[in-house]
A and B are shown apart, each in its own frame.
Chain A
């Protein structure tokens, strides 16, 4: 019986990879555990082991092939008593990976987000960009992951005091490859692998900032920063105030935040409302590559402690980035990413992609939604929210996070306190379900926000449901 070797998924979010190198040739005898090939993703290089014994019949996918989908048959083994030379190679049909299958079946925004291949920006019309980029600037397509890396590299070149520390940031090239290449350029003095001790290294980073350096502390994810939250809040955020303005703490805490894919409750949480509630912190949560780069550079230059919330599902997405020598964006400014006159959708981070997709669907039904990306969550750009409300008189918040005591709740309060006279309908929150994030694919999908729910809420405030 022939055995098909398939392209394996190496992480919950991987959907394709490069078949870098075959380590066996056709006709070779292999046993279980033998290494057959090396494959590369944007995160890592891994080895594919044989799961059975047999003779290599056919190498279906040649080495060097890029973008091999997970599940694709890459080789065929002939079992005992079979003639390897006669093994039929299957047509190299592309088997859809699990995430993409979900997207096909459900057609929801969330599943597409998880696949990381489509979002409102690519499918819809180009959103308006009012990020202060000079007219005529060349644009290039770049992933959020690369934009973040470039931001750190540029600031490290500019300022000797800037260094990065965290788990696997140096030799491993970053658990999510955000720090790829930094060790080679800046050396071990400035790109520092730490032990798995968040409380300790967050404290050391904070102390180094108090001592005059500019640390960038990477948390592998913000879920693990709960171990370190005392230093973020009690040590970093409060010391300038408690010292009467003497003790600066210019540290950046950054890493992925919010739900990833199929990693369940302990690894899936949006901490934005936690940090945004703390005076003394700056909290930034960008969506696209331009904001990720421009705001991370601003965060590193800030004299204040900054919590910089990224999103794993967005790392691999590509967006247009202006080619500027020094692309720094203002902290504390929201951005209109799509103009509209009928209803305002306020969001941030991955929710912006969901909102843009919802806006396209609404446009198909004759409702023009204005989408606002908050970008900075503390200090919050209240005026941008109120200005848009004054234009549309209807507002929905889309937040990939729990509803209780959320950023959405805060936006509702702002609308009540300072925009009451502008409201033609109650403000609605579209948030994740109020449960720990479940593992099962169907339950996970049901827990998270998607474009359909944002569309439904927008129609409700427009009295079109």
Chain B
């Protein structure tokens, strides 16, 4: 009989590696000093970005109700501090971002023009995907925003691929890959954890735990609801972060990004947040009480908290009102643009299927 040459040497390195496995050390470092020290200007900037996302999403909800936006539309209201806190710590010239279908907020936080986002929602030629992608499929290669992916969990290996490209080119960039508590149960996420850790890819995995996978509460869908622990089996350190406080999010991002950028491999951040609106516009919200949503809005809202903090820092309320007005005006302009732009030309039906021609 023939069989492959035997090699049964068992690695004895495992015990040596226990010491440098930083599962808890990052969380400990973070908890010592969990809030980012933002100056007035910087907090004002975060506040404005969060406000921009909220007003944008409120307007998108209205346009959906008017029939101007079709299909699936997932709003980010309530989760604004996550995208703003994390992405404000990235280097926009080098780092890439990828997320799932709840993507409007991440795009706005990466400085993409609200007009072309809103025009994509209304399916117009001037939309960022020429009207061919819609709410769930938006991209800006120029801004290193790589989507906008409609299949739950798909963005996780794709993000690891982007991180692979950063490392392959040695360009100093990292990838931030967002997914939800629902996607966190997908098998491909763990295949990716394994390879990302094995190859020490420069990626920050961000689980936005908003409590519900569509309509299924985390405790009904997940055996381990402490999502930051889910990388442990792959030696990926975890961080457990309050996603409703933009300064805590930003501080956690500092710790995580520093770790990843230094070539230590991936990190898994759980951002505990809450979405006020339904999973998508067609969500009847029978799975939670109104009181639960109301309590969250009244006590944990990231925008109200930042506003209060700004006032305490001495920013006049009138200035904040003026800022709110400006944001509303920008959103109104974006909505007008999105409503008045023409639909795609019929010739666009056959463009962009393939890049090359094979005649």
Contacts and interface: CB of A to CB of B under 8 A. Distances in A.
Interface stretch (B68-76, B104-112, B129-137): B129-137
Interface string B1-14: 11111000000000
A234 B154 contact: yes
Interface in A37-58: 39, 44-49, 51
Interface string A285-304: 00000000000000000111
B146 A282 contact: no
A48 B162 CA distance: 45
A197 B191 contact: yes
B358 A376 contact: yes
B192 A244 contact: no
A397 to B, nearest CB: 21
Contacts of A46: 2-5
B163 to A, nearest CB: 8
B342 interface: no
Given A10-B2, A46-B2, A330-B358, A203 B158 contact: yes
Interface size class of B (residues with CB under 8 A): 35 or more
A282 B353 CA distance: 10
Contacts of B96: 211
Given A205-B161, A212-B169, A239-B139, A244 B128 contact: yes
Contacts of B2: 8, 10, 39, 46-49
A247 interface: yes
A274 interface: no
Contacts of B353: 240-241, 279-280
Contacts of A201: 157, 191, 195
A204 B1 contact: no
Contact of B188 (A10, A45, A200, A239): A200
Contact of B165 (A44, A207, A331): A207
A204 B161 contact: yes
A302 B159 CA distance: 22
A43 to B, nearest CB: 11
B352 A203 contact: no
B222 interface: no
B151 A203 contact: no
Contacts of A8: 1-2
Interface in A161-207: 163, 189, 194-195, 197, 199-207
Interface string A311-335: 0000000000000000000111000
Given A46-B2, A207-B165, A302 B137 contact: no
Interface in B222-236: none
B162 A211 contact: yes
Contact of A206 (B141, B158, B194): B158
Nearest to A204: B161
Interface in B327-359: 351-356, 358-359
Given A211-B165, A244-B132, A246-B129, A200 B354 contact: no
Of B139, B166, B169, B354, the most chain A CB neighbours within 10 A belong to B354
B156 interface: yes
B162 A203 contact: no
A332 B356 CA distance: 11
Contact of A47 (B3, B127, B151, B154): B3
B162 A210 contact: yes
A379 interface: yes
A245 interface: yes
B188 A241 contact: no
Interface residues of A, number: 56
Contact of A239 (B147, B156, B195): B147
B140 interface: yes
B303 interface: no
Contact of A211 (B146, B188, B355, B359): B146
B316 interface: no
Contact of B352 (A45, A204, A215, A241): A241
A376 B198 CA distance: 37
Contact of B151 (A163, A204, A207, A234): A234
Interface string A48-88: 11010000000000000000000000000000000000000
Contacts of A215: 161
B115 interface: no
A315 to B, nearest CB: 20
A235 interface: yes
Contacts of A206: 157-158, 161
A133 interface: no
A206 B160 CA distance: 10
A235 B151 contact: yes
A282 B354 contact: yes
**Those 8 A-B pairs whose CB atoms lie nearest each other, nearest first:** A207-B161, A203-B157, A200-B191, A211-B165, A332-B358, A244-B130, A207-B158, A303-B355
Given A206-B157, A234-B154, 14 more contacts: A49-B3, A201-B157, A203-B158, A204-B164, A207-B163, A211-B161, A243-B138, A243-B147, A244-B132, A246-B140, A280-B353, A302-B355, A302-B356, A332-B358
